[in-house]
Amino acid sequence: AQSVAQPEDQVNVAEGNPLTVKCTYSVSGNPYLFWYVQYPNRGLQFLLKYITGDNLVKGSYGFEAEFNKSQTSFHLKKPSALVSDSALYFCAVRDPYKLSFGAGTTVTVRA
């Protein structure tokens, strides 16, 4: 089965600093990887995905993610975090009909 892991339960950064949320994957074959964000009392919002092609994927709200095959990682990044980026972030992998999600990382951006 395909799976992803998010090694950090929480990430705290100051506004304006770079933000990184880590994700590693374990798949057989080519991975289809996704990032979603969840704000309080809301559903999951799609940020970006990697299917094939460029290893650097750009998504919504200034986020990007880098696919690294040798390190089996798909870390989410934002060059300059905003307080409004505070939310719960999920990494996911296609498996094959469903999405298998990581446990989630809570991001807190302090002003």
Partner 1 sequence: ETGVTQTPRHLVMGMTNKKSLKCEQHLGHNAMYWYKQSAKKPLELMFVYSLEERVENNSVPSRFSPECPNSSHLFLHLHTLQPEDSALYLCASSLLPGSGETQYFGPGTRLLVL
* Residues at the site binding partner 1, with contacts judged by CB under 8 A: 32, 34, 36, 41-46, 49, 51-52, 90, 94, 96-99, 101-104
Query: Can you tell me which residue has the tokens 């994700």?
Result: 23
Nearer to partner 1, 44 or 82 (CB): 44
Judged by DSSP in three states, 85 sits in: helix
Distance (Å, whole) CA 109 – CA 106: 10
User: At closest approach, how far in Å is the CB of 90 from partner 1?
Assistant: 7
Report the residue number, 11 or 104, with the smaller CB distance to partner 1.
104
Give per-residue burial for 36-49: e unless 16+ CB within 10 Å, then b. bbeeeeeebeebbb
Rounded least distance, CB 48 to partner 1, Å: 9
